Amino acid sequence: MISHHAALIYTMVLVSASDRRMPDSELRKMGEILGTLPIFEGYNSDLLTQTAAACADLLDDDEGLDKALSLIEAALPPKLRETAYALACDIAAADQEVPEEEMRMLEMIRHRLKIDRLIAAGIERGARARFSKL
């Protein structure tokens, strides 16, 4: 079992790594999220690298994605599942492009965390609005 903090970080890492690259904009956004959101108050941000690496190591296993999603699901109480999905959407939108792999990962996270489709659409639209440029 992982902590709810680790589960939120795993969710962000899954989206960022889904297209086999983790752009600086997405990594910066993860650090920014840890430093600003109330859910991470009291979390030692020095553990981010270690937690992200643990998730990446898990993904090297043949069934690593399913294991990671199961760990996330088990660690997050229902009231944090929409938060996890919102963080995943923010990471996907951070670099202004959402490749097919990231869209598929968001869909997998949404299904695993049982996020209602209308709620997910609102979260996704909010992320697009926050990260749009002229």
Checking if the pLDDT of 23 tops 80, the result is: no
Checking if the pLDDT of 3 tops 80, the result is: yes
Q: Is 96 left (phi over 0), alpha (psi -120 to 50) or beta?
A: left
**φ, ψ of residue 18 in degrees (nearest 5):** -65, -25
- Residue 134 token pair: 């002229």
| Ordered domains of the chain (ranges, CATH) | 4-130 (1.10.3680.10)
**pTM for the full model?**
0.93
Q: Which residues contact 29 (CB under 8 A, 6 or more apart)?
A: 90, 91, 94
Checking if the pLDDT of 20 tops 90, the result is: no
- In degrees, to the nearest 5, what angle opens at C-alpha 19 toward C-alphas 25 and 72? 85
Checking if the pLDDT of 122 tops 90, the result is: yes
Checking if the pLDDT of 25 tops 80, the result is: no
**φ, ψ of residue 57 in degrees (nearest 5):** -60, -40
Q: How confident is the model at residue 22 (pLDDT cuts 50, 70, 90)?
A: confident
Q: What confidence score (pLDDT) does residue 66 get?
A: 96
Q: How confident is the model at residue 24 (pLDDT cuts 50, 70, 90)?
A: confident
C-alpha 65/C-alpha 95 separation (Å) is 23
**55-101, pLDDT tens digit by residue?**
989 998 899 999 999 999 999 999 999 999 999 999 998 877 787 99
**37-52, pLDDT tens digit by residue?**
999 999 998 898 899 9
C-alpha 79/C-alpha 22 separation (Å) is 28
Q: How confident is the model at residue 117 (pLDDT cuts 50, 70, 90)?
A: very high
Distances (CA, A) of 19 to 16, 43, 116: 7, 28, 25
| Buried b / exposed e along 48-71 (16+ C-beta atoms within 10 A) | beebbebbbebbeeeeebeebbeb
